[in-house]
């Protein structure tokens, strides 16, 4: 690309340099002139809806919205004048009088609301228009967030975010004139919506308290919180997080705009599973005595554990660890692996095969962002890696990339796909169709997940590579991106721990008398594994089960001894992402008293310091 | 014209007791409490020891904290709360006609705020809810005595009923802000409300 032509414009007498194609607002901001906005948000298409950013352009009788007007060389602009300030005040007064903006009862009242900020900046004390007091509904049916139409100013940031960032376009405007309002799925509620992914990006970008996180409402103003930048613990993408905390608890979690992976966007797992789920935390060691749990001190717990271990020979003990644990944990565990017959990482079905064969793609995200054809084999990005799914939707819907799905479960991606084949027939006509679909594409990305390492998946893969490679010309490329499901399975596997992706066969093979499970802060307390594989009955037969976990679950119910662990926010460490990068997670909260790090507990059991 | 009554609590006496000679020409200040939670008056009382200072400069001629039955002529009137019923409308209009300068104090007076939340509902439903559907009021029924002030279908901020000379929003405004506004006005200057003095919450 040739460098953009430099242009010079004058704003309020100041010489401002910019590039051709930039809007007046962009050049103004780059030159330190802060034109007030409400509906404008960097990264979204300019909307020009709020009219707060209007400026005067010399030679033009009409006012123009600076957010949506491209600057041209030599423009002379007035951004602040008595007339403009008065107009902006009137616009704000109209916004205040149109809805029901009752600041004292709004969760965004203490400095988090952009509308309120603009009111303060413009010195609005009273409103010269009659208040309308419209009767507007409140939608509290959403799982994690609510929509109070009373506070909505129809800036459309949520609509554009949903369409341009998450790519689902669940939100839009409905009705006309004074009845104009935000609608979900053409008039459903958030609770009924089928297309909403609960990613919460609309909430993060709402300039008022119209969209608000239920769990964060009235907890603490964000402006009063501490901010910690870290990475997401929920999947191997390694999205950047900004965690807001106050008084040693998490108030809210947003995406880190600086992150190369997610650029500020998050999926439901990172945005809400990390903090907004009601879960019962285990705070002290528990020991099952006469069928019921009793709280004991750590010393007593260690005593009981040592007795348990003494009674079982090494060959009959196994240690299973969660793939959410850090590389540091993996390294520390080396000292005690000799105490067990096997130490395994619990993986998703077929994940072992994927981890064993994966050739990591260090720049996977940027390849995905350039691709004009995306092929997914045996992965579930919508369920497992929401940010990746969002990027795929945006690529397909806004960039016109082709999308081919093989051996994937049903998801909303099906509706955008050129080819969606849950079960692949390998007849010639089918592959002819595939070849036809991808003819003419130049940059192909093949994302493959655990399900690609099945006999069907491998057949597809082989055939696919053949078809793709025969259609590409010189200078065009195809990149394969492995996509594991579990957070740090790559890191732990690289420490030499085998991935156990068939727990039933594994446990039946060893027939242990003691199973020590480090489930840590698995979102469902580790129960997902049990339920997915019908393991409960199998574990009931095991003599002694020891669980190190953060949350109560059916798994902890089965245990003889339960030991509390920190949650993701209470430990630091490095994690290996799907690109093979070692990402550092910062500690966000202090370790609660009574909770010990997983590796320290394991070492203490075997008295290795 | 209403007859001026002698307040039971004479502010001049208090000032005199504090060893201060009341100046002959004091500003006459009235405060009124319409539909609001009294929080703004509490904030006014939060002036604390500055009330003594204030008493040197003003006579509080009418207020919920002064036992005067009728609204007298005054220089400055401070209004808390919005207009909910015909009695409040009458009082507010009367106050306006007798005050030289009128301040809307707090969000209820400025925007309608929480009392105006009932504007989303039919008056009949509001009355039924308030007087018949709650546990404590089931048997009373909606009061119909003509002596009881009549609720308007819609709550209005005072700016929609009378002319307002100065808006001081906040729920409630800080005592510091109230002090700043009063002292600036007494000094003959127009107060400039900016953050952090300007607050809507």
Q: What top-level class would CATH report for the domain A6-80?
A: alpha beta
Could you tell me if A70 and A23 are in contact, meaning their C-beta atoms sit under 8 angstroms apart?
A: yes
- Looking at 3.40.50.740, 3.40.50.150, 3.55.40.20, 2.60.200.20, the CATH number of the domain A286-352+488-605 comes to 3.40.50.740
pLDDT value at residue A455: 85
Asked if the C-beta of B37 comes within 8 angstroms of chain A's C-beta atoms, the answer is: no
Q: Percentage helix, strand, coil, to 5, in chain A?
A: 35, 20, 45
Asked if B154 and A133 come within 8 Å (Cβ–Cβ), the reply is yes
Asked if B117 and A100 come within 8 Å (Cβ–Cβ), the reply is yes
CA A46 → CA A72, A161, A174, A333, distances in Å?
A: 17, 12, 20, 52
Asked if the C-beta of B160 comes within 8 angstroms of chain A's C-beta atoms, the answer is: yes
Asked if A109 and B201 come within 8 Å (Cβ–Cβ), the reply is yes
Task: Give the tens place of pLDDT for each residue, A302-320.
Answer: 999 999 999 999 999 999 9
Asked if residue B12 has pLDDT above 80, the reply is no
Read off the pLDDT of each residue in A170-196 and give the average, rounded to a whole number. Answer: 95
Asked if residue A1 has pLDDT above 70, the reply is no
Asked if A130 and B154 come within 8 Å (Cβ–Cβ), the reply is no
CA A44 → CA A31, A205, B113, distances in Å?
A: 21, 10, 33
Q: A581: alpha, beta or left, given left = phi > 0 and alpha = psi -120 to 50?
A: beta
Asked if A120 and B194 come within 8 Å (Cβ–Cβ), the reply is yes
What DSSP line would sit under B18-67, residue for residue? Answer: TT-PPPSSPEEEEEEE-BS-SHHHHHHHTTTTHHHHHHHHEEEEEBTTB-
CA B17 → CA B21, B22, B108, distances in Å?
A: 9, 10, 36
Residue of A101, A104, A113 to mutate, testing the B interface (most B Cβ within 10 Å of its Cβ): A104
Query: Domain map of chain A by residue range?
Result: 6-80, 229-278, 286-352+488-605, 360-482
pLDDT value at residue A120: 96
Percent of chain A with pLDDT over 70: 98
Could you tell me if A404 and A418 are in contact, meaning their C-beta atoms sit under 8 angstroms apart?
A: yes
Percent of chain B with pLDDT over 70: 87
Q: What does the alpha-carbon distance between residue A282 and residue B5 come to, in Å, rounded to a whole number?
A: 69
Token pair for A582: 């070692």
Identical topology for domains A229-278 and A360-482 = no
Among A541-555, A576-590, B121-135, top mean pLDDT goes to A576-590
Q: CATH code for A229-278?
A: 2.20.25.90
Place of tokens 């990006």: A201
Among A463, A422, A425, A424, smallest CA distance to A446 is for A463
Q: Give the closest of B168, B198, B201 to A104, CB-based.
A: B201
Architecture of the structural domain at A360-482: 3-Layer(aba) Sandwich (3.40)
pLDDT value at residue B115: 96
Read off the pLDDT of each residue in A160-186 and give the average, rounded to a whole number. Answer: 96
Read off the pLDDT of each residue in A101-130 and give the average, rounded to a whole number. Answer: 94
Report the mean per-residue pLDDT for chain A: 93
Could you tell me if A597 and A295 are in contact, meaning their C-beta atoms sit under 8 angstroms apart?
A: no
Read off the pLDDT of each residue in A190-219 and give the average, rounded to a whole number. Answer: 96
- Work out the burial of residue A544: count CB atoms within 10 Å of its CB; fewer than 13 is exposed, 13-18 middle, 19 or more buried: buried
Task: Give the tens place of pLDDT for each residue, B154-192.
Answer: 999 999 999 999 999 999 999 999 999 999 999 999 999
Asked if B200 and A133 come within 8 Å (Cβ–Cβ), the reply is no
Instruction: Tell me the chain B residues in contact with residue A131 when contact means C-beta distances shorter than 8 Å.
Output: 111-112, 116, 156-157, 160
Task: Give the tens place of pLDDT for each residue, B79-111.
Answer: 999 999 999 999 999 999 999 999 999 999 999
pLDDT value at residue B201: 87
Asked if residue A426 has pLDDT above 80, the reply is no
Window B:82-121, CB contacts with A under 8 Å: 104, 107, 110-114, 116-117, 119-121
The residue of chain A with its CA nearest to that of B119 is: A133
């Amino acid at each position: 690309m040739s460098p953009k032509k430099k242009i010079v414009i004058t704003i309020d007498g100041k010489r401002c340099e910019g590039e051709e194609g930039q809007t007046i607002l962009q050049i103004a901001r780059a030159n330190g002139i802060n034109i007030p906005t409400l509906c404008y948000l960097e990264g979204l298409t300019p909307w020009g809806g709020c009219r707060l950013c209007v400026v005067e352009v010399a030679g033009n009788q009409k006012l123009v919205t600076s957010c949506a007007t491209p600057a041209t060389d030599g423009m002379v602009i007035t951004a602040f004048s008595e007339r403009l300030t008065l107009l902006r005040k009137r616009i704000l007064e109209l916004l205040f009088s149109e809805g029901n903006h009752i600041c004292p009862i709004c969760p965004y009242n203490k400095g988090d609301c952009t509308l309120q900020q603009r009111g303060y900046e413009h010195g609005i004390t009273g409103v010269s228009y009659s208040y309308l007091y419209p009767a507007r509904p409140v939608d509290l049916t959403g799982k994690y967030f609510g929509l109070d139409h009373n506070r909505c100013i129809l800036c459309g940031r949520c609509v554009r975010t949903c369409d341009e960032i998450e790519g689902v376009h669940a939100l839009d405007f409905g009705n006309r004139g004074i009845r104009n309002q935000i609608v979900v799925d053409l008039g459903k509620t958030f609770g009924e919506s089928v297309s909403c992914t609960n990613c919460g990006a609309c909430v993060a970008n709402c300039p008022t308290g119209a969209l608000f996180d239920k769990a964060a409402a009235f907890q603490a103003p964000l402006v009063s919180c501490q901010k910690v930048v870290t990475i997401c613990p929920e999947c191997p993408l390694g999205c950047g997080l900004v965690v807001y905390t106050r008084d040693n608890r998490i108030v809210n979690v947003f995406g880190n705009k600086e992150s190369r992976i997610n650029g500020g966007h998050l999926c439901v797992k990172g945005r809400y599973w990390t903090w907004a789920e009601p879960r019962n935390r285990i705070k002290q060691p528990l020991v099952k005595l006469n069928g019921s749990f009793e709280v004991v001190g750590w010393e007593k717990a260690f005593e009981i554990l040592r007795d348990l271990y003494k009674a079982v020979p090494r060959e009959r003990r196994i240690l299973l660890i969660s793939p959410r644990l850090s590389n540091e944990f993996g390294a520390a565990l080396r000292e005690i692996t000799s105490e067990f017959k096997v130490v395994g990482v619990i993986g998703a079905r077929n994940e072992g095969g994927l981890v064993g064969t994966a050739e990591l793609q260090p720049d996977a995200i940027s390849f995905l962002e350039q691709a004009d054809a995306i092929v997914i084999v045996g992965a579930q990005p919508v369920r497992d890696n929401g940010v990746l799914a969002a990027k795929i939707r945006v690529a397909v819907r806004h960039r016109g990339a082709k999308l081919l799905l093989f051996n994937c479960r049903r998801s909303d991606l099906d509706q955008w796909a050129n080819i969606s084949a849950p079960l692949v027939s390998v007849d010639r006509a089918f592959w002819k169709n595939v070849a036809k679909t991808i003819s003419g594409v130049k940059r192909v990305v093949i994302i493959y997940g655990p399900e690609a390492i099945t006999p069907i998946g491998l057949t597809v893969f082989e055939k696919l590579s053949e078809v793709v490679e025969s259609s590409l010309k010189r200078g065009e490329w195809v990149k394969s991106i492995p996509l594991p499901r579990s957070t740090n399975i790559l890191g732990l596997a690289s420490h030499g721990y085998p991935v156990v992706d068939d727990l039933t066969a594994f446990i039946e093979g060893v027939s242990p008398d003691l199973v020590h499970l480090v489930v840590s802060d698995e979102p469902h307390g580790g129960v997902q594994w049990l339920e997915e594989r019908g393991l409960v009955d199998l574990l009931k037969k095991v003599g002694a089960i020891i669980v190190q976990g953060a949350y109560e679950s059916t798994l902890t119910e089965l245990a003889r001894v339960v030991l509390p662990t920190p949650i993701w926010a209470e430990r630091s460490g490095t994690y290996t992402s799907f690109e093979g990068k070692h990402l550092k997670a910062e500690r966000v909260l202090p370790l609660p008293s009574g909770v010990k790090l997983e590796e320290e507990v394991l070492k203490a059991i075997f008295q290795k310091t | 014209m209403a007859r001026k009554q002698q307040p039971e609590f004479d502010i001049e006496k208090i000032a005199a007791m504090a060893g201060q000679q009341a100046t002959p020409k004091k500003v006459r200040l009235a405060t009124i409490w319409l539909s609001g939670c009294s929080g703004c008056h509490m904030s006014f009382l939060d002036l604390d020891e500055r009330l003594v200072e204030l008493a040197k400069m003003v006579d509080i001629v009418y207020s919920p904290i002064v036992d005067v039955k009728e609204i007298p002529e005054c220089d400055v009137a401070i209004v808390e709360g919005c207009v909910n019923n015909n009695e409040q409308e009458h009082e507010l209009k009367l106050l306006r006609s007798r005050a030289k300068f009128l301040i809307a104090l707090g969000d209820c007076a400025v925007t309608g705020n929480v009392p105006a939340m009932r504007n989303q509902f039919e008056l009949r439903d509001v009355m039924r809810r308030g007087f018949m559907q709650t546990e404590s009021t089931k048997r009373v029924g909606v009061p119909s005595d003509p002596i009881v002030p009549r609720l308007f279908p819609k709550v209005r901020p005072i700016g929609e009923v009378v002319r307002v000379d100065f808006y001081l929003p906040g729920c409630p405004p800080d005592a510091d802000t109230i002090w700043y506004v009063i002292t600036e006005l007494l000094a003959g200057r127009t107060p400039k409300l900016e953050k952090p003095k300007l607050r809507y919450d």
